[in-house]
């Protein structure tokens, strides 16, 4: 107390101009002052507590689960759990008892939580995380509850995300619930394949399908999901069909899908209200000005984020591979192989699947076809084309997959065109092009097909013709600025890009764009490399040119064109130097 008084006196009497000196005796007393801190005190203290706990010494509370007991110390439990703090400090009966029964918690889980109170360590793994989170929620171990939630976030998969979302909702884990729901929306096509999906209640599937940002490639995915869920318990769930059916954004579907898939389904045919709704929707297609869905809002469909490269060849080695580049992860990965090697094949996507056709297997040209479903990672055959085709092209228009041109790889070029119906698995012949075209490119835009370039057996072409299925006639339009065969083409920002290729012995790096509104071609900056048999796709607002060959040497380089910067930049490599492959996006 004397030292304290001296120090107060110094503070009170001091000014900026003068300070009373501390006399020698007082200074000596101050110098004799020592503060001791034991850096190991906390660890020694908790170790001693833990030793008392393990030896069941000085324990003043026993937790009982069925016939098993856990002796412990009230102060330790109350310091870690708001539940126990409230129990021991309240006027509840348990506050004066030395023996408390804990219900609805597994003994081993409770033992782990009590051990944590003494050690600050607990092991969380897949086999105990659900019970541990449930117990932590009940006993108010908030830190452990949060840690279990983070653990489950890292374990989200299409097969468990719906179960985890329901579990999180039951235990008020809001962040985990939100993460699980967002995951289920992002991986919806895989989620509807899981057993969890067919087990969810009506309210949960309704909330999921109402989302504007659910990740689907087409509204047909939503319809299939509804049919799958109803079909798991027709008697108990058929009463919900009408409510769920109205969640499909039908105006995002083509009339062909409405007529060929939706309308004939037995669930629709047996529901008068659904038939009337479809009738109104078909009317709105014919008379857009009488738009019957006043509250209609298109769903934000999944944007393509993957580039798939299929087949191709290197120095006469023909590939059966399919490789996928993920833009967000900037890495390539392989997928199950095709049943047949294919060079000079054609491919396109429909309903979230990759349809490939024709090509050359190293011995002969092919008319066989197969499709790949990335959700189940399996290839399946579909009906063959009428003739074998190599160096031809494929495009989708109004729910049909069109193939045009090509050759038999011997001496016959084609001007024939046929189209495939993925719903009925049939091909049918349509009007032939005005020119034979091997090594052409076929693209669709605004309900029109454009067939460009190629070789007719005599010369390489720069001509372009377009096909309107409503008239069933091919008509010529403005030719390209360069003759091209074995080149790439894609639609980007409503413009048609023609990329690379060859003109007799000269491989090209030139690029030009076609503006349909003005029926004119314009040159844009050339690629850094000449590329023949190049694969071209448009994705994420940019144009990708992958692989190809220059002077009979296969390439593995990739170039990307940014229309805003109006320039090409090299961007990584494909896994193998090759040409003649097909490229699609999903």
Do 379 and 497 fall within a single domain?
yes
Residue 33 main-chain phi, psi, to 5 deg: -75, 135
Rg (CA), the chain: 36
Give the CA-trace dihedral at 53, 59, 63, 64, to 10 degrees. Answer: 100
Whether 282 is in a domain gets the answer: yes
- Each residue's pLDDT expressed in tens, for the chain with a length of 586 residues: 343 333 333 333 444 444 455 566 666 655 677 888 989 888 888 899 999 999 999 999 999 999 999 999 999 999 999 999 999 998 777 777 889 999 999 999 999 999 999 999 999 999 999 999 999 999 999 999 999 999 999 999 999 999 999 999 999 999 999 999 999 998 998 999 999 999 999 999 999 999 988 888 888 999 999 999 999 999 999 999 999 999 999 888 888 889 999 999 999 999 999 999 998 888 877 766 555 545 567 777 666 689 999 999 999 899 999 999 999 889 999 999 999 999 999 999 998 899 999 999 999 999 999 999 998 899 999 999 999 999 999 999 999 999 999 999 988 999 999 999 999 999 999 999 999 999 999 999 999 999 999 999 999 999 999 999 999 999 999 999 999 999 999 999 999 999 999 998 899 999 999 999 999 999 999 999 999 999 999 999 999 999 999 999 999 999 999 999 999 999 999 999 999 999 999 8
Q: Which residue in 256, 213, 468 sits closest to 351, CA to CA?
A: 256
Do 248 and 356 fall within a single domain?
no
- Provide the pLDDT for residue 252: 85
117: containing domain: 41-155
- Provide the pLDDT for residue 12: 39
Question: Which residues, including other chains, have CB under 8 Å from residue 395's CB and lie 6 or more apart?
Answer: 348, 401, 402, 442, 443, 444, 449
Burial track 415-442 (b if 16+ CB lie within 10 A, e otherwise) = bbbbbbebbeeebeebeebebbbbbbbb
- Provide the pLDDT for residue 28: 60
- Provide the pLDDT for residue 24: 61
- CB-based contact 489:483 (threshold 8 Å): no
Q: Where are the beta strands (DSSP E) in 113-249?
A: none
Q: Crossing angle of helices 129-139/142-153, nearest 10°?
A: 150
Q: CATH number for the domain including 351? A: 2.120.10.80
Whether 313 is in a domain gets the answer: yes
Give the CA-trace dihedral at 528, 529, 533, 538, to 10 degrees. Answer: -20
Q: Which residue in 539, 574, 585, 534 sits closest to 344, CA to CA?
A: 534
Do 452 and 318 fall within a single domain?
yes
Do 314 and 437 fall within a single domain?
yes
Do 419 and 498 fall within a single domain?
yes
- Provide the pLDDT for residue 291: 53
- Provide the pLDDT for residue 288: 60
Question: Which residues, including other chains, have CB under 8 Å from residue 1's CB and lie 6 or more apart?
Answer: none
Do 502 and 369 fall within a single domain?
yes
Domain boundary among 254, 286, 318: 286
Do 363 and 426 fall within a single domain?
yes
Whether 294 is in a domain gets the answer: no
Do 341 and 272 fall within a single domain?
no
Q: What DSSP line would sit under 419-451, residue for residue? A: EEETTTTEEEEEPPPSS--BS-EEEEETTEEEE
Do 325 and 238 fall within a single domain?
no
Element containing residue 470 per DSSP (H, E): none
Centroid of chain to Cα 477: 39
- Provide the pLDDT for residue 244: 96
Do 378 and 486 fall within a single domain?
yes
Do 267 and 329 fall within a single domain?
no
Domain boundary among 286, 315, 339: 286
Q: CATH number for the domain including 230? A: 1.25.40.420
Q: CATH number for the domain including 54? A: 3.30.710.10
CA angle 265, 269, 272 (to 5 degrees): 140
Whether 16 is in a domain gets the answer: no
DSSP assignment letter at 416: -
Domain boundary among 286, 317, 350: 286
Do 564 and 489 fall within a single domain?
yes
The count of residues in the chain is 586
Task: Give the strands of the sheet with 331-335, arranged side by side.
Answer: 331-335, 322-326, 306-310, 582-585
Whether 189 is in a domain gets the answer: no
When divided into structural domains, the chain yields a total of: 3
Q: Tell me the pTM.
A: 0.78
Whether 27 is in a domain gets the answer: no
């Amino acid at each position: 107390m004397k030292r304290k008084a001296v120090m107060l006196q110094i503070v009170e009497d001091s000014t900026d101009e003068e300070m009373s000196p501390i006399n020698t005796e007082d200074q000596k007393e101050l110098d004799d002052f020592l503060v001791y801190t034991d850096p190991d005190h906390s660890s020694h203290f908790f170790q001693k507590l833990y030793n008392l706990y393990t030896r069941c010494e000085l324990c003043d509370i026993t937790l009982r689960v069925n016939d098993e007991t856990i002796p412990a110390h009230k102060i330790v439990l109350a310091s870690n759990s708001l539940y126990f703090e409230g129990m021991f400090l309240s006027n509840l009966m348990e506050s004066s008892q030395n023996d408390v029964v804990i219900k609805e918690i597994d003994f081993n889980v409770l033992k782990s939580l009590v051990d944590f109170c003494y050690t600050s360590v607990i092991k969380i793994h897949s086999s105990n995380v659900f019970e541990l989170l449930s117990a932590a929620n009940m006993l108010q171990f908030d830190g452990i509850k949060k840690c279990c939630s983070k653990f489950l976030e890292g374990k989200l998969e299409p097969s468990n995300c719906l179960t985890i979302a329901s579990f999180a909702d039951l235990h008020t884990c809001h962040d985990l619930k939100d993460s699980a729901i967002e995951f289920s929306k992002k991986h919806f096509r895989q989620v509807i394949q899981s057993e969890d999906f067919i087990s969810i209640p009506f309210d949960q599937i309704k909330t999921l399908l109402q989302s504007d940002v659910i990740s689907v490639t087409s509204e047909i995915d939503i319809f299939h999901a509804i049919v799958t869920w109803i079909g798991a318990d027709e008697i108990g769930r058929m009463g919900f069909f009408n409510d769920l059916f109205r969640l499909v954004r039908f105006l995002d579907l083509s009339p062909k899908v409405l007529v060929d898939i939706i309308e004939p389904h037995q669930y629709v045919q047996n529901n008068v209200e659904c038939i009337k709704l479809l009738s109104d929707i078909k009317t709105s297609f014919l008379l857009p000005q009488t738009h019957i869905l006043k509250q209609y809002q298109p769903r934000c469909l999944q944007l393509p984020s993957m580039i798939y490269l299929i087949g191709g060849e290197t120095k006469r080695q023909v590939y059966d591979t399919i490789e996928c580049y993920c833009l967000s992860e900037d890495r390539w990965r392989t997928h199950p192989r095709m049943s047949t090697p294919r060079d000079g094949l054609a491919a396109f996507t429909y309903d979230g699947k990759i349809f490939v056709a024709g090509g050359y297997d190293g011995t002969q040209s092919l008319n066989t076809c197969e499709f790949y479903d990335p959700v189940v990672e399996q290839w399946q055959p579909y009906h063959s084309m009428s003739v074998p085709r190599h160096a031809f092209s494929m495009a989708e228009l109004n729910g049909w997959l069109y193939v045009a041109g090509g050759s038999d790889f011997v001496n016959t070029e084609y001007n024939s065109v046929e189209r495939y119906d993925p719903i009925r698995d049939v091909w049918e012949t349509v009007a032939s092009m005005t020119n034979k075209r091997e090594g052409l490119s076929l693209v669709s835009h605004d309900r029109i097909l454009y067939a460009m370039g190629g070789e007719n057996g005599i010369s390489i072409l720069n001509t372009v013709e377009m096909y309107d299925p409503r008239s069933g006639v091919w008509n010529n339009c403005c030719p390209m600025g360069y003759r091209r065969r074995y080149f790439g083409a894609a639609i980007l920002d409503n413009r048609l890009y023609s990329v690379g290729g060859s003109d007799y012995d000269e491989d090209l790096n030139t690029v030009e764009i076609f503006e349909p509104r003005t029926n004119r071609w314009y040159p844009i900056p050339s690629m850094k490399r000449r590329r023949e048999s190049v694969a071209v796709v448009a994705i994420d607002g940019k144009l990708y040119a992958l692989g190809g060959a220059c002077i009979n040497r296969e390439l593995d380089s990739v170039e990307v064109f940014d229309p805003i910067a109006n320039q090409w930049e090299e961007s990584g490599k494909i896994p193998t130097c090759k040409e003649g492959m097909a490229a699609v996006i999903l």
